[in-house]
């Protein structure tokens, strides 16, 4: 097993270093604990963390924020490309009938293309005949609601090609080679969460059950849409955008039946402190259990108050001309960009809005 780390040095962190102080893994490599020392020209930070894995072959990327420094910790145990994508090397084209009442079960590893996507499906996966049309309906609805495009000309669109060539040089080499479409990989492995990258998403077979859709595919394609137009956002804005977009479009997509309701899924009290709400953006670590709930509320407020133009301008503000594949916007930088396109008192105004709309999020 290899244990690696990488500091995002594109933001002027040329002199920062990281030292592994402690690293311990249980015998099944399912829980890893570590202590790192981050040293800069002015300060020294001790970073403690753990990774709980579901399969020793996976590759993990943990992100940690410390005073604006972005640190990546990666645990690699097997070859990622072979594990995730090797089985599709000899996949064959699949023809779907287009009928919503028709069903087919794949007998080999197959793929099909839509206007927006290339979908790679393993054997023994049941699909509805109109799956391609429904996927395109999802993508079109997300574009219409957000004002963004999957075929963006932004420099971040180039990262989809970079990710393929850098990480998976032999993945689907003769299918969607220029990454002009989104790759959707259907996995038979039961991970604890789906995977989203620039220009690609990995989902489970049940996410393509359009007779009782759970919202995962819509949510993950919303992530891909955002990352086609800008960098990886902080968790508050990334999950808030994807959840808000899912709630906005999922009930109006032709061919998709669902009981998904974001107001129920992310209901209850997410322990938002109305008086220290800025701390959520200034916290040293990027992950917080209630960031999904908080993000959904905050992005709902932003869209309802400032409209879709706000998010488009905000993305431009946090983007750069020459993006790095590991760029990720620290929460405090995200907040500064939000204020640039709203007001300096946006958090105070959000608190007032949240008090008035609290019942909407009670489930």
Of 70-79, 101-110, 189-198, the range with the lowest mean pLDDT is 70-79
Q: How far apart are CA 51 and CA 33, in angstroms?
A: 7
Average of per-residue pLDDT values in the chain: 78
Residues in Cβ contact with 176 at an 8 Å cutoff, skipping those fewer than 6 apart: 113, 118, 183
Instruction: Find the Cα–Cα–Cα–Cα dihedral 216, 219, 221, 223, rounded to 10°.
Output: -130
What is the b/e burial string over 212-229, where b = at least 16 CB atoms within 10 angstroms of the residue's CB? ebbbbbbbbbbbbbbbbb
Count how many Cα atoms sit within 13 Å of the Cα of residue 53 in the half-sphere of its side chain.
21
CA–CA dist 194, 317 (Å, integer)? 28
Q: Angle between the 216-227 and 131-146 helix axes, to the nearest 10 degrees?
A: 50
Give the chain's end-to-end CA distance (angstroms, integer): 44
**Domains along the sequence of the chain with CATH:** 2-78 (no CATH), 82-233 (3.40.390), 262-361 (no CATH)
Does the pTM exceed 0.75?
A: yes
pLDDT tens, 245-281? 999 999 999 999 999 999 998 887 666 655 567 777 7
pLDDT value at position 50?
59
Model confidence at 107: pLDDT above 80: yes
Confidence bin at 99 (pLDDT 50/70/90): very high
Picking from 200, 218, 205, the residue whose alpha carbon sits closest to that of residue 255 is: 218
110: tokens are: 């197959």
Q: What share of the chain has pLDDT > 90, as a percent?
A: 37
Token readout for 171 is 């993945």
SS3 sequence of the chain = CEEEEEECCCCCCCCCEEEEEEEEECCCCCEEEEEEEEECCCCEEEEEEEEECCCCCCEEEEEEEECCEEEEEEEECCCHHHHHHHHHCCCEECCCCCCCCCEEECCCCEEEECCCEEEEECCCCEEECCHHHHHHHHHHHHHHHHCCCCCCCCHHHHHHHHHHHHHCCCCCCCCCCCCCCEEEEEECCCCCCCEEECCEEEEEHHHHCCCCECCHHHHHHHHHHHHCCCCECCHHHHHHHHHHHHHHHHHHCCCCCECCCHHHHCCCCCCCCCCCCCHHHHCCCCCCCCHHHHHHHHHHHHHHHHCHHHHHHHHHHHCCCCCCCCCECCHHHHHHHHHHCCCCCHHHHHHHHHHHCHHHHCC
Indicate the pairing of strand 17-25 with strand 2-7.
Answer: unpaired
Please give the pLDDT value at position 303.
Answer: 97
Distance, CA of 87 to CA of 284 (rounded, Å): 40
Residue 237's pLDDT is 93
220 vs 359 pLDDT, higher one: 220
Q: What is the mean pLDDT of residues 217-234?
A: 93
Between CA 164 and CA 48 the distance in angstroms is: 32
Looking at residue 200, what is its pLDDT?
82
The pLDDT value given to residue 326:
61
At 29, phi and psi to the nearest 5? 60, 35
Residues 279-314: tens digit of each pLDDT = 777 764 545 667 788 899 999 999 999 999 999 999
Higher pLDDT, 237 or 29: 237
Q: Which two tokens stand for residue 79?
A: 């070859």
pLDDT (mean) for 230-255: 93
Name the least confident of 12-16, 44-48, 99-103, 309-313.
12-16
Size (the chain), residues: 363
Check pLDDT > 90 for residue 30. no
Distance CA 199, CA 220 (A): 11
> What is the spatial order of strands in the sheet that 17-25 belongs to?
17-25, 31-39, 44-52
């Amino acid at each position: 097993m290899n244990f690696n780390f990488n500091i995002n040095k594109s933001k002027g962190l040329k002199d920062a270093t990281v030292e592994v102080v402690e690293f311990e893994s249980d015998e099944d490599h399912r829980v890893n604990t570590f202590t790192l020392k981050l040293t800069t020209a002015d300060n020294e930070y001790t970073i403690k963390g753990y990774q709980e894995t579901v399969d020793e072959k996976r590759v993990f990327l943990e992100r940690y924020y410390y005073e604006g420094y972005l640190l990546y910790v990666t645990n690699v145990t097997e070859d990622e490309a072979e594990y995730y994508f090797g089985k599709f090397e000899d996949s064959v084209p699949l023809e779907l009938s287009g009928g919503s009442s028709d069903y087919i079960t794949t007998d080999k590893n197959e793929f099909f293309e839509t206007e927006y996507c290339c979908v790679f499906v393993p054997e023994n996966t049941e699909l509805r005949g109109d799956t391609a049309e429904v996927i395109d309906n999802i993508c079109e609805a997300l574009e219409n609601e957000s004002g963004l495009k999957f075929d963006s000309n932004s420099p971040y669109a180039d990262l989809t090609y970079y990710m393929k060539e850098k990480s998976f040089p032999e993945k689907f080499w003769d299918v969607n080679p220029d990454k002009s479409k989104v790759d959707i990989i259907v996995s038979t492995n039961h991970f604890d969460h789906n995977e989203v990258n620039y220009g690609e998403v990995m989902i489970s077979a049940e996410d393509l059950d359009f007779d009782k859709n759970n919202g995962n595919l819509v949510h993950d394609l919303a992530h891909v849409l955002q990352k086609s137009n800008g960098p990886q956002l902080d968790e508050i804005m990334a999950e808030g955008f994807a959840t808000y977009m899912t709630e906005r479009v999922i009930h109006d997509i032709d061919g998709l039946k669902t009981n998904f309701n974001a107001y129920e899924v992310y209901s209850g009290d997410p322990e938002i402190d109305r008086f220290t709400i800025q701390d959520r953006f200034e916290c040293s670590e990027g992950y917080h259990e209630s960031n999904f709930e908080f993000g959904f509320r905050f992005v709902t407020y932003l869209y309802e108050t400032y409209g879709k133009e706000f998010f488009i301008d905000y993305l431009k503000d946090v983007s750069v001309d020459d993006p790095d594949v590991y760029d990720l916007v620290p929460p405090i930088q995200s907040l500064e960009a939000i204020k640039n396109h709203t007001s300096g008192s946006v958090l105070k105004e959000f608190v007032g809005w949240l008090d008035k709309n609290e019942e909407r999020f009670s489930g």
